[in-house]
Amino acid sequence: MTLSATLLLASALFCTGIYGLLTRRQTVGILLSVELMANAANVVFVSFGAARGGTSGQLFAVFSLAITVAEVAVGLALMILLYKSFGDTRVDLASEMKQ
């Protein structure tokens, strides 16, 4: 298990998240993909921290975890607002302002 192996795993996770972000149309699906990408970033933090020693990598990951939780709360609230306004959670519906 080398550092480059964990970095490759994180890259693959991030690209899976990108794929989900581009294909999903429901708000929950997009939030799930964003979660995957944030998770990949955390893997990078932890693996660099473990290779370097010390606590800084894990510290970054802890703060990133807290920020991700806040992001999920706001994202779910926006989803509920979308559902209240349009009766569905597809993000295409939110493009109404363009017209």
Partner 1 sequence: MTSVAFGVVAALTLLTALLVVRVTNLVRATLWLGASLLSTAGIYAMLGASFLAGAQVMLYVGGVVTLMIFGVMTTRRHEGLAAEAESTNTGRATAVSLALFVLLAWAIHGTPGLDVPATNGVGASPEALGRALLVDHVLAFEAASVLLLAAILGAAVIARRRDPGVEVPKPGSRAASMPHAAAEAP
Q: Which of residues 15-74 bind partner 1 (CB under 8 A)?
A: 15-20, 22-26, 28-29, 31-33, 35-36, 39, 42-43, 46-47, 49-59, 61-63, 65-74
CB of 4 to partner 1, least distance (A): 4
- Contact flags string 78-97 toward partner 1, x per CB under 8 A: xxxx-xxx-xxxx-------
Task: Specify which residues 90 forms β-bridges with.
Answer: 26
Q: Total binding residues for partner 1 by CB under 8 A?
A: 73
Query: Burial of 99 by CB count in 10 Å (0-12 exposed, 13-18 middle, 19+ buried)?
Result: exposed
- Calpha distance 99→47 (Å, rounded): 47
